[in-house]
Every structure is written in C-alpha cells, then in structure tokens.
Amino acid sequence: MSVAFAGNSTPGSSREAGPLRVMIVDDSVVIRGLISRWVGAEHDMEVAASLRTGLEAVNQIERINPDVAVLDIEMPELDGISALPQLLAKKRDLVIIMASTLTRRNAEISFKALSLGAADYIPKPESTREASAADIFHHDLIQKIRHLGARVRRKPAVASPPLAPASPATAVRGPLVARPAAATPAVPAPSSSSPLSTRPFSTQAPKVLLIGSSTGGPQALMALVAELGPVIDRVPVLITQHMPPTFTTILAEHLARTSRKPAAEAVDGEPVKPGRIYLAPGGKHMRVVRSGADVAIALDDGPAVNFCKPAVDPLFTSAIDIWHGAILSVILTGMGSDGMRGGKDIVAAGGSVIAQDEASSVVWGMPGAAANAGICAAILPLNQIGARVNRLFAGDRS
C-alpha cells in the first residue's frame, strides 16, 4: 500500500495521469485502515492521506491535493457536512464521497451533502465483522472512487444547480446511490466516440412512464420529475433507483416535493393508478402484475438482478405483460448496464426507450449500454428529456 502526501499537480485541478489520489477522512481507525488497504491494493489508485477529522482535511487539502475524498459524516472538531463546502472551496473539482451508517438522520444529511456539492455517498456497514456487508462496502466504494474519479479527470468541472431539500427543485449536483444487495461489477463506461444509431419512436400512444437510474440518479430524477406534471396527471410513473432502504423513503419525499404530485415507496399489492409516482423501495425489486381488471405493484425479495436490488430490468420486463408496446421508458445516469436488457424487451414489444446522453450523465454506464445496443429512439441531454416526454404523451410520435 502506498500513502502519498505530496501533491504533484496544481491545487484546484485534477491530474491528467497516474493513480487516483484518495484522501480518507474518518475518525474510526478501523474504517481508515480498511479503506486504506482496499485503495492501496488497486493498481489505479493510491492513498494520498488518512486523516481523523474534517478539520485536518480542510487544513491539509492544498498540500495533499487528492482527486477523491471519502468523507465521514460524524467526526470530532469538524464533521463531514461542515467540512464539505470548505474542501470544495479550496479544490473545486474534488470528488467527495460521503460515508455514513444507514440511519434516517444520516440519510437526510447525505441528501444535504449533495446540495452542497458532494459527488456521491455510500452507507457504511453497521459492523465490519460481517463479511458480506464488508465485501459489499469494499466493492461499491472502490467502484465509486474509480468511476467518479475517472469522470472528473475526463471532463472539466461544471457546476450544477443544487438540490433544495424543502422546496421544488430542478437538479442536483453529483450522484447519490448505493446497492444493499451486491456490488456493481467493474464495467467500463461505454464510449460515444462513434456515431450512435437510433430507431423511430413507437407509433402506439404510451400508457405508462418507466424510469431507471443509478449513480447520479436522484439528482437527475429531481430535474426530470419537476417537468412532468402533465404526464403524471395522465399516466402512472414507476421509478427504480438503485438505493438502499431508508434512502428510498427520503428520495420519495423529495420527489413528491419537487413534482408536487403524490410520490411514495411502492407497497406490495397496491393498485397502479395515474397521478402518482411509485418508487421501488430499497432492498426490493418492483414489478407490476394483473390484479383482476386492475394493475398492482408486486414487490420481490428475491436475489439481486444485475448485481442490484432493486433493479431496473424486473420493472421493465414485467410492464410488457401489462401495457405491451404502449410503454415509454427512460434510462438515466448510472454505473453498469441495468435496464438495457429490459429496454430491449420493451422495444421488441413495440415500446420506446430514451437514454440520457453521456455529457449530462454522472456515469454513462446504464444509458450508454442502452445507446450502444441500438435500442434508443432518442439519446438526449437531461435538460431535454422532460420536454420530449411531455410531447410524446401529448401525441407527438417523432
């Protein structure tokens, strides 16, 4: 394991080459030791510093000059949420991943951290003695560091509108996602260097809107649902976001405030009606099934799909039995390829897929997989998806 304290690039900008420099800030010596070992074992990253408090991080950030910081929420002297804006003020393109135990309070603080510029968050296991929990934490953290660190090097830093936690909002900076069941594999983000082909939109009028998202999804969802009032009034909107329990509860509350429409975690057996947003609860797959003449939610506690739980593909494929080709699906930012196979099935049934473009995605894994598979009717910047969805539900088929 290497621990490097001397920065070798100009503070305020990421280096173009060499291992990702990771700063670990946590008052737990056990957590610091674990993350240091994990990072040090990776060929493409190194430990730039291992610090106990947010105050140490703020005081040393310019000297250390990391690419990525893993920042604990609860620390003495200066906690993570207080240190966050100070760190970004000194290094504007620093990738900050908030780490916290899985509680309601910490979930709310993690959402607040996103509004202050955090790039992502990850829940820490209650006990590192539980092998499966530690393995998930290990794999997810390394993937977040790798994907988000690579993105910041690849693109210039661009400020995005923050999340307003108590009022309607349009966008949030950085990703917020975690997977409670299993880790996302290290799949390189697809490249859009070659032209991507699209197909015509379905000639059928859509009767439902399905949305899948992962890394960066909550922010993208806030931006999108803020524009979808007319659609939500006409059809049900079902969303799967890779996220653990508690966090999905809070995300649903944010979606309700942002859209000004009823939004909640889906409940097993509840009817699916227009005018509502249904969010897959953390740790459960969400499907739709026939219930007499109605459509109902079916929650599934089965194995992870695409290394995720909830996963997008179960929702997409189950919808075909209900609405056949009258489906419009949207695949937003995220690591991995979840949603691509379900999207293929939707297109084969006569429905349509829209993918978020690479430039506006935090990680162009999921939408990139769909785009490169040739199943998309449109590949759009996030700020254009809402308008296109509204037009399609209003009768435009182009």
Q: Could you list the active site residues?
A: 214, 242, 338
Cβ contact 295:235 at 8 Å: no
Count CB-CB contacts under 10 A for residue 198. 16
DSSP string computed for 292-320? TTEEEEEEE----BTTBSS-HHHHHHHHH
Burial string for 221-250 (b: 16+ CB within 10 Å, else e) reads bbbbbbbbeebbebbbbbbbbbbbebbbbb
User: 48: left (phi > 0), else alpha (psi -120 to 50), else beta?
Assistant: alpha
Which residue type sits at 336? G
Instruction: For residue 7, give every residue at least 6 positions away whose Cβ sits within 8 Å of its Cβ, in sequence order, or none.
Output: 21, 48, 62, 63, 64, 65
Q: How would you class 212 by CB atoms within 10 Å of its CB: exposed for 0-12, middle for 13-18, buried for 19 or more?
A: buried
Omega before 11 cis (within 30°)?
A: no
**Which residue is associated with the tokens 């280096």?**
15
Q: Are 52 and 58 in contact (CB under 8 A)?
A: no
Tell me the three state secondary structure of residue 268. Answer: coil
Cα 53 to Cα 24, 32, 60, 70, 385, distances in angstroms: 10, 11, 11, 12, 41
HSE on the CB side for 346, CA within 13 Å? 37
Half-sphere exposure of 158 (CA within 13 A, CB side): 10
Coil, strand or helix: which one is 224?
Answer: helix
Instruction: Give the separation between CA 139 and CA 144, rounded to whole angstroms.
Output: 9
Nearest to 117 by CA among 66, 174, 38, 46: 174
How far apart CA 256 and CA 275 sit, in angstroms, is 11
